[in-house]
Structure 1
Amino acid sequence: MTKFGIFLTTAKLPNITEADVFNNSSYYATLGEQLGFDSCWTLEHHFTPYGLCGDPLVMAAYLLGKTERLQVGTAVSVLPNHHPVQLAERVAMLDRLSNGRFLFGVGRGGFVKDFEVFDQPADKSHLIMREWMSIINDAFTHPGVVERDNEFIRIPAVPVYPTPQTPGGPPVYVVCESPSSTEWVASQGLPMMMSWWLEKDAMRTQIELYNDVAEAHGHDPEGVDHQISCLVSVGDSREQARAAVHDNFDWFRRTGQEAAFRIQHLRNLPNYAELMRKWEEFALDQGGDLDRANLQHTENILDLNVVGTPEYCVDHLGELMEATGVRHVLAGFEGPGTREAVAENMTRFAEEVIPSLKKQFDTVAAA
């Protein structure tokens, strides 16, 4: 069955206040529930207007209290930023308080200051993430006793409370942006969250790699609840849809790049080699001109994502779902900027795009 969620950026665009950011996010979540979306997802960012939500679990708790049916997830909790035992406690509490409506999306992070301020080695982020997930899994199993003594952390043997309501803990989703991450996630049998800047063929290749590795580790890849993320702008014409979000997409790109690892950082981080490779390829495509590459990057974001008429959005997203086999879509609607325009964007997608995709894919699944 197809599922559709919304992700809440909490981005502080230049024309809105911090109060607007959180009031709007709450409004979008409750509107999403009214429009029939299945879930909403909170992001974690620090030290940048790219996102004001430093604690996605706090925000998720608030939104779970504001809604009745909607599932609420993190997209993502950046694991190296947190103590794993405390994180396990808080996630289990949310699972119980929400009666199982909480979803746990995780990632290892890619913003420079996070690692500096929270004092974790960026060159070992992948190892820290795997260790933290192992600790959290131990906390979610009966009797939920955790004990560690290694290069990353020392924890004396302690029981972790509360235990989650959902057996084994709430559903876990993992951001994957490299072959090595995909291989590890597949070895665990966990679903992937695939990024909105990936091309269709790259997503399909990622799914194929996942399936091969999952099977080799004894996991059945059939029916794994992977997610595709995308940015959405629905308009009366493709030109109108692009114009409505162009400037804010460019702001998102620039602001995110300022906070993220840059090429000078990536050169010293072999565990982010795939990200380095993508940036080098993109710069080479633009003749080595980084300024030109940055400008082209915004146009590429518009081309890759779900930006156009309702018919275009159905066709574009339908092709992506068909190529990958993924039926769970997370959509970002905040590109138009103002609350009224974002609400209209969400409403048009819910009423003019989702029904066609459900008819296309759910009818086939039912048959």
Structure 2
Amino acid sequence: MIIGAFLLAPRFPGQTDRAALDRALAAVDAAERVGLDEVWIAEHHFMPYGACPDAATFAALALGRTRRIAVGTAVSVLSTAHPVALAERALLLDNLSGGRFHLGVGRGGPWVDLEVFGTGLDRYEHGFPDALALLLRAMTGPTVDGTARFPFREVPVVPAPATRPHPPVAVAATSAATVELAARHGLPLLLGMHVGDEDKRAMVDHYRASGGPADAEHVSAVLAHVAGSRAEAVAQVMAAAPGWLRDGLAAHTPVDDRPGPARDPHAYAQLLCDLHPVGDFDYCADRIARSAARTGATRVAAMVEATGDPAHTLRTVAALGALRRAVSAPPAASDLGKLA
């Protein structure tokens, strides 16, 4: 099992953007220190749901501060970026980090971002397959030329990939069509924390049925929060997360006249507590292990900022590190007792 942290840098009510980013950066340092395998950085625009508007830039800083851990984007939004520009940044980080950079890409949403960055709704609704194919060609090199949607003359790819045939790429999927697209390219899935194990298993099964490799290492995003007991952990999340979700969901502004997200923040926070490892150490360890077995996704990306409290975040990262060590060499009962 590969265990990592998933960092949104969410701005909770009363916090500054800098506080949210500092908390996420401290979590990167802690993840390296306690032995997690990887960290994943989210990207959002114009909203407090996440204060990081460029996951690759954050990843560059994280890679520069660490020496061992892999750092990925979850995700870099391909609908608002030029595929070749994103490929160049990925190749640069691949070279500078010695192969520790992982690129996660996704379609994003029908938000005002498409208007601001000039890519438009058609790019979101119809352009993702072409953009992904061009991204992969550009990351592979040694040259790349354009398409009908992205017309340009042939150019050399610089720098060449340090990781062959290209740096690792994963695809965020919420629909059957995107699962099939990832399977055609042989790329693993990034599965969101808004769905449970049964839905994730269905997507993994559909991926395999669509010709995707059986040994693909899919990534399952979960919300993780460790406290002294299940009741205490849920109470802490429910006291803080609804305010963040209320402000964050409300800030998703559609690019057209469609309605925005309509989730009830309290109900959504409770759903996340019900679906994911929110509890004491033993409860969380059991939920993570069972979820990996049920879904077939053996890479876990745990969102550790569920309350916005830096101390809570670091405590959960430390517990995940202990769980990661337990996967390789089970710790003594006394060690588990200290972490609970």
2:331 is equivalent to residue 334 of structure 1: no
1:158 partner amino acid? V
1:259 partner amino acid? A
1:175 to 166, 172, 181: 172
2: CA distance between counterparts of 1:337 and 1:90? 30
Deviates more, 1:204-213 or 1:335-344: 335-344
Once the 2 structures are TM-superposed, how far is the Cα of residue 249 of structure 1 from its aligned partner? Answer: 2.0
2:196 partner amino acid? E
1:345 to 311, 316, 321: 316
1: CA distance between counterparts of 2:69 and 2:257? 39
Counterparts of 1:50-69 in structure 2 under 5 Å? 50-69=49-68
Q: Deviation digits for residues 48-101 of structure 1, max 9, x if unmatched?
A: 111121111111111111000011110100011112221111111111111111
1:303 to 274, 294, 307: 274
2: CA distance between counterparts of 1:231 and 1:54? 21
2:284 is equivalent to residue 313 of structure 1: yes
Q: CA-atom RMSD, angstroms?
A: 2.3
296 and 18 in structure 1: CA distance in 2 versus 1, 3 angstrom threshold: closer
The answer on whether the counterparts of 1:110 and 1:261 sit within 8 Å (CA) in structure 2 is no
- What is the match of residue 234 of structure 1? 226
30 and 111 in structure 1: CA distance in 2 versus 1, 3 angstrom threshold: farther
Once the 2 structures are TM-superposed, how far is the Cα of residue 163 of structure 1 from its aligned partner? Answer: 1.4
- What is the match of residue 163 of structure 1? 160
1: CA distance between counterparts of 2:306 and 2:265? 18
Counterparts of 1:71-90 in structure 2 under 5 Å? 71-90=70-89
2:188 partner amino acid? P
2: CA distance between counterparts of 1:135 and 1:47? 27
Deviates more, 1:159-168 or 1:26-35: 159-168
The DSSP-based 3-state class of the residue aligned with 2:153 is strand
Counterparts of 1:57-136 in structure 2 under 5 Å? 57-110=56-109, 112-136=111-135
The answer on whether the counterparts of 2:36 and 2:324 sit within 8 Å (CA) in structure 1 is no
The answer on whether the counterparts of 1:234 and 1:309 sit within 8 Å (CA) in structure 2 is yes
Counterparts of 1:27-46 in structure 2 under 5 Å? 27-46=26-45
- What is the match of residue 252 of structure 1? 244
The answer on whether the counterparts of 1:207 and 1:324 sit within 8 Å (CA) in structure 2 is yes
The answer on whether the counterparts of 1:100 and 1:170 sit within 8 Å (CA) in structure 2 is yes
Counterparts of 1:212-227 in structure 2 under 5 Å? 212-214=209-211, 219=212, 221-227=213-219
2:40 is equivalent to residue 47 of structure 1: no
1: CA distance between counterparts of 2:51 and 2:99? 26
1: CA distance between counterparts of 2:195 and 2:252? 17
2: CA distance between counterparts of 1:180 and 1:163? 31
Structure 2 length as normaliser, TM-score? 0.90
Deviates more, 1:161-170 or 1:244-253: 244-253
Once the 2 structures are TM-superposed, how far is the Cα of residue 265 of structure 1 from its aligned partner? Answer: 5.2
183 and 266 in structure 1: CA distance in 2 versus 1, 3 angstrom threshold: farther
Once the 2 structures are TM-superposed, how far is the Cα of residue 348 of structure 1 from its aligned partner? Answer: 2.4
User: Whose helix fraction is larger, Structure 1's or Structure 2's?
Assistant: 1
The DSSP-based 3-state class of the residue aligned with 1:134 is helix
Q: Which runs of 5+ in 2 are unaligned?
A: 331-340
- What is the match of residue 143 of structure 2? 144
The DSSP-based 3-state class of the residue aligned with 2:210 is helix
The DSSP-based 3-state class of the residue aligned with 2:39 is strand
